């Protein structure tokens, strides 16, 4: 039985009838969304597996069977994504309000497919396409547009960026204040080491280093200058050891002072000059020599990753009471600031979830109405050649 068309929507019907390929695309896109959704997710999962199995160093020439199979799967995945994009463009239109490129996630899909097309078009010898091939790693991001819960979380992150900007600005001022305090108090102190004091007519052996460091420990021995009240003094160094023997002799003038079977020179007693001429700890990466390096140290402290070692180094070189600085930094930066970010995200979550759910409902209703319109057009009386083609 033929169903007559509503004359009030006649202009819309005629407009859609004049685009038969678009109507067919709407039927493909709007009908039976669940199987299509499952197929999309399976292809994206397959793409993740193939990307994980790819070995750039081994598969550079792609001569093995494994590489050829992975290349076949990659061709299939590209063809699937390109076909999906083409169907969506025909169904929704390419440019304008409510069209395919009006959505940000669709623009990301378009960029990924376009980059893959460039890779196939420019696949010639003596041309390095590694920069284009790296865009393949963006393909799993298409799952964000397929999984509603993941899309809500990503949109939540994007929505909270302006509000988090104020929190980050506050963090910047906190970092700046603590960084200035750290530079003013501890500039150069983490490079302080106990150096050998020159003695007239005494030649130090080659195995004696220029400054003292722990032989058994990985931690640097950072000394405190006489005007500071640090916990490490050059006068507190333990005696030198040769194997299991503790050295106690002083150095003799005009003598090589080589160790014997029952005696050796205690060279550690001559490390008496505390000077800032060594390297900063952790391969020179942690210090308060300038505001930039101070921010790096502050970030490590608030991340609670190795912060105690930094505090111990500062206490060794400056003062025991420097723990107050680090405790305040952890309380303000690690506890207060992070919880403030969580409050901002929690405040925005309900609003973002409601908006995204309404948007998905409207999009589903629009696709279903478009599919219904195409079906009613197929069942109507043929009024033109275009209608016959659609049928």
Instruction: Using pLDDT thresholds of 50, 70 and 90, give the confidence band for residue 329.
Output: very high
Question: For 235-262, what is the mean pLDDT?
Answer: 84
Q: Which residue has the higher pLDDT, 389 or 172?
A: 172
Judge whether residue 269 has pLDDT over 90: no
Phi (first) and psi of residue 195, to 5 degrees: -100, 155
pLDDT of residue 60: 65
- For residues 284 and 297, the answer to whether their CB atoms sit within 8 Å is no
Instruction: Using pLDDT thresholds of 50, 70 and 90, give the confidence band for residue 386.
Output: very low
pLDDT of residue 18: 40
Percentage above 90 pLDDT, the chain: 17
Question: For 361-373, what is the mean pLDDT?
Answer: 64
Beta bridge partners of 106: none
Judge whether residue 246 has pLDDT over 90: no
DSSP 8-class letter at 273: E
Residue ranges and CATH numbers for the domains of the chain are 32-146 (1.20.120.350), 166-330 (no CATH)
pLDDT of residue 24: 46
pLDDT of residue 372: 54
pLDDT of residue 23: 45
Q: Among the listed ranges 246-255, 303-312, 315-324, which one has the minimum average pLDDT value?
A: 246-255
Residue 210, classed as helix, strand or coil, is: coil
pLDDT of residue 216: 64
Question: For 353-359, what is the mean pLDDT?
Answer: 75
* Most confidently modeled range among 80-84, 137-141, 300-304: 300-304
Residue 253 burial by Cβ neighbours in a 10 Å radius (0-12, 13-18, 19+): exposed
Q: Among the listed ranges 131-145, 207-221, 224-238, 265-279, which one has the minimum average pLDDT value?
A: 131-145
Residue 229, classed as helix, strand or coil, is: strand
Phi (first) and psi of residue 268, to 5 degrees: -65, -20
Q: Which residue has the higher pLDDT, 117 or 299?
A: 299
pLDDT of residue 366: 66
**Cα three-residue angle 111-114-116, rounded to 5 degrees:** 110
Q: Among the listed ranges 58-72, 217-231, 259-273, 288-302, which one has the minimum average pLDDT value?
A: 58-72
Q: What is the pLDDT of residues 10-69, one digit of tens each?
A: 344 434 444 444 444 444 444 444 455 677 778 778 878 877 777 766 666 677 787 788
Question: For 141-154, what is the mean pLDDT?
Answer: 71
């Amino acid at each position: 039985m033929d169903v007559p068309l509503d004359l009030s929507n006649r202009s819309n019907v005629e407009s859609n009838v004049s685009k038969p390929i678009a109507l067919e695309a709407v039927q493909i896109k709007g009908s039976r969304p669940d199987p299509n959704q499952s197929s999309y997710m399976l292809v994206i999962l397959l793409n993740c597996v193939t990307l994980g199995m790819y070995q750039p160093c081994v598969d550079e020439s792609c001569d093995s069977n494994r590489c050829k199979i992975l290349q076949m799967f990659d061709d299939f995945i590209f063809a699937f994504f390109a076909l999906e994009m083409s169907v969506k463009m025909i169904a929704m239109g390419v440019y304008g309000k409510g069209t395919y490129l009006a959505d940000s996630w669709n623009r990301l899909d378009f960029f990924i497919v376009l980059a893959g097309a460039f890779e196939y078009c420019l696949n010639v010898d003596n041309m390095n396409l590694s920069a284009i091939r790296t865009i393949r790693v963006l393909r799993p991001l298409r799952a964000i547009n397929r999984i509603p819960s993941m899309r809500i979380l990503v949109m939540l992150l994007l929505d909270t960026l302006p509000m988090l900007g104020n929190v980050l600005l506050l963090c910047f001022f906190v970092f700046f204040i603590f960084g200035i305090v750290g530079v003013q108090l501890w500039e150069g102190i983490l490079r302080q080491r106990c150096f050998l004091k020159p003695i007239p007519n005494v030649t130090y052996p080659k195995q004696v280093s220029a400054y003292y460091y722990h032989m058994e420990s990985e931690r640097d021995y950072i000394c405190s200058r006489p005007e500071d009240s640090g916990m490490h003094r050059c006068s507190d160094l333990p005696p030198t050891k040769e194997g299991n023997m503790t050295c106690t002799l002083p150095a003799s003038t005009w003598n090589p002072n080589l160790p014997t079977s029952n005696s050796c020179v205690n060279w550690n007693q001559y490390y008496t000059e505390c000077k800032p001429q060594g390297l900063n700890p952790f391969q020179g990466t942690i210090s308060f020599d300038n505001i930039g390096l101070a921010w790096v140290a502050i970030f490590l402290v608030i991340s609670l990753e190795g912060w105690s070692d930094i505090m111990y180094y500062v206490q060794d070189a400056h003062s025991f009471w420097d723990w107050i600085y680090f405790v305040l930094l952890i309380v303000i930066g690690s506890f207060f600031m992070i919880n403030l970010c969580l409050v901002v995200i929690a405040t925005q979550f309900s609003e973002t979830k409601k908006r995204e759910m309404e948007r998905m409902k409207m999009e589903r209703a629009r696709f279903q109405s478009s599919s219904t319109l195409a079906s009613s057009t197929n069942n109507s009386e043929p009024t033109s050649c275009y209608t016959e083609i659609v049928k």
